Amino acid sequence: MKPKFATPLILIAGALSLSACSVLSASTSNDLSADISNVASSDVITAKTNVDNGINLAAGKSIEVNAQDPWVVESVSTTGPSGTTEDRGLALTIWKSQPVDPGQMTTVRVTMLNSQTGETQTIQRNVIGGPAQRTYTATITPPKGKYGVGVIPIVEFSKSVPEADRPEITSHLSVTSSPTALTGGWRWISDTQAAYRPSTQFWPARQTVVVKADIANVKISGTKAGTNDSWGQRNESATYKIDRAMILNLNASTDQGVATIDGKVVRKFGISLGKPGYTTRSGIKTIMERYEVTRMTNVGVTNDSVYDIQVPLAMRLTVSGEFLHAAPWNGNIGYANTSHGCSNISYDDASYFFKKTLEGDPVITKNTGRAIEAYNGPGALWNIPYAKWAKFTAPKPTA
């Protein structure tokens, strides 16, 4: 008959000793009830560990168990912040846990097996991870406020996230919307940024969207495991209000634009897009920021068609410098495409949109012959088909 587990040991807190292992042997001096008929005599050394003399262990370090011949580590049950895991049939002389989390309790129950007699002993250690030596933070953009239906939530981390860690990090990010509950997915757009899109084309109008990054004590692996890992400093959240659905459609073939609110036409207007050599990009963009007056120049960039002007009522559409703006000097608005790449409109139309639009309002341009790049502003991310977007962003399954 296989011997029963012996009584677990209770760790008495003492001074931390990581430089040397201390002796772990059988003991019956605890208040846990168990059948101890198979416990070896108290002077039998079964294992040495690096936490025999204290419950504290530096965050990122591993609990180590070194079996003493003829004993071996037969099985281990580990309980920590993520739940309980069990490993059986090990027959190891040395066992190491996963790095411990900062400020979190980890309990290990180790079954030791005497390879000569078949006797077993169960030992237990409770360990508390020390404070994190390296931390990172998360910033959610845009900040809380009121936005258009094309707004893209982005979580930016203060440290680069290795690809191997991204599924775990993504599982701690969430987006909820009400009153319409939507499905959606995250996509990593850089080493430090994860962006979210609903599976629908734009958000429904008049929603409350809550974005959360629950990354407190969530690890980003360093270049040398266990020695330079970083841990999330705190959780972050932001709440957005999605306003009415205002969408601007610009057609390079007709030099005309149409603005709708909640599907109803509210304004028609003339446009003048980029001339040859300065082709405006086609595709979905969103309004990123607005300036009552801003300087635009290509001085030092090109000697062809040099300009340096103060532009009124400018609404940025791309990071590369495309704007929707008033161009009172352009006599071809509504008739021909003669701009340097921006979407030129009249001063009256620009004044209307400058007052009415919000950050995140979609501006959709077509028929220019030049597609927008996916990196060129948050609105450009809508041009990635959702099937492709979601293919690379499925969060890691959780139990």
The string of pLDDT tens digits covering residues 161-211 is 999 999 999 999 999 999 999 999 999 999 999 999 999 999 999 999 999
Whole-number Å distance between alpha carbons of 114 and 68? 9
pLDDT of residue 95: 96
Of residues 96, 221, 110, 111, the one with CA closest to residue 157: 221
Domains located in the chain, CATH noted: 22-129 (2.60.40.3780), 135-243 (2.60.40.3710), 246-383 (2.40.440.10)
Whole-number Å distance between alpha carbons of 277 and 248? 24
- Lowest mean pLDDT of 268-272, 277-281, 299-303, 371-375, name the range: 299-303
pLDDT of residue 43: 59
pLDDT of residue 303: 58
34: confidence class by pLDDT, cuts 50, 70, 90: very low
392: confidence class by pLDDT, cuts 50, 70, 90: low
298 vs 261, residue with greater confidence: 261
| Averaged pLDDT, 255-284 | 97
* Segment holding 348, helix H or strand E: helix 347-356
* Segment holding 166, helix H or strand E: helix 166-170
Backbone angles phi, psi at 240, to 5 degrees: -110, 150
pLDDT of residue 376: 96
pLDDT of residue 225: 60
309: confidence class by pLDDT, cuts 50, 70, 90: confident
Backbone angles phi, psi at 371, to 5 degrees: -85, 145
Question: Which residue type does 167 have?
Answer: P
Per-residue pLDDT tens digits for 116-136:
999 999 999 999 999 988 999
Using a pLDDT cut of 70, give the percent of the chain over it. 84
pLDDT of residue 226: 57
b/e burial code for range 364-377 (CB count within 10 A of at least 16 → b): bbeebeeebeeebb
14 vs 171, residue with greater confidence: 171
pLDDT of residue 266: 98
| Averaged pLDDT, 69-95 | 93
| Both tokens assigned to 91 | 């027959």
| Averaged pLDDT, 368-390 | 94
| Confidence (pTM) | 0.76
| Averaged pLDDT, 267-291 | 96
Whole-number Å distance between alpha carbons of 18 and 165? 28
Contact 186, 194 (CB under 8 A): yes
| Both tokens assigned to 163 | 């690809």
pLDDT of residue 301: 60
| Both tokens assigned to 88 | 């059986």
SS3 295: strand
299 vs 11, residue with greater confidence: 299
147 vs 83, residue with greater confidence: 147
What are the beta bridge partners of residue 116? none
